[in-house]
Amino acid sequence: MQPIDCPATLAVTSAASPPGDWQVVTPTGTRSLDRVGFYSGPPSEQVSLAPDSTVEGGGKSLDVWTFSPSTDEPLWVACFYVGTTLFIAKPMPHGMKRCSVNYATTRSGSRLRLTEAHCQ
């Protein structure tokens, strides 16, 4: 198994050109890792892959993606962060067939944090 090595935090800066006498207010600090996702091809092509299965219970949630070995399009892994629409992504090593992402959840099932992510 190969762990997915998303950075735990991401420093985010933003820029804007507000009209008139409006001023840009930018929150400071870093953003914490929220979730992991996968794309068929570069994320700029916007082909986000949904998990093939999700199992919830016992304070945990598990998402599983299964990839076809015949896919010619490279797979990409994306790391998403709390409080921003920006994310980082990179191509995955060729030949990955399955990825699992675990989250800790509240009693009601809301996701609290990512606890483990790996592919094989």
The rounded distance, in Å, linking the Cα atoms of 95 and 119 is 10
Report pLDDT digits (tens) over 11-66.
Answer: 887 778 899 999 988 777 789 999 999 999 999 999 999 999 999 999 999 999 99
Distance CA 66, CA 80 (A): 20
Q: What are phi and psi of 44, to 5 degrees?
A: -60, -20
Could you give the C-alpha distances from 28 to 10, 25, 83, in angstroms and in order?
12, 9, 11
pLDDT digits (tens, 9 = 90+) for 60-105: 999 999 998 766 789 999 999 998 888 999 999 988 999 999 999 9
Burial (CB count <10 Å: 0-12, 13-18, 19+), residue 28 = exposed
Q: What is the pTM of this model?
A: 0.85
Report the alpha-carbon distance of residue 100 to residue 119 in Å, rounded: 6
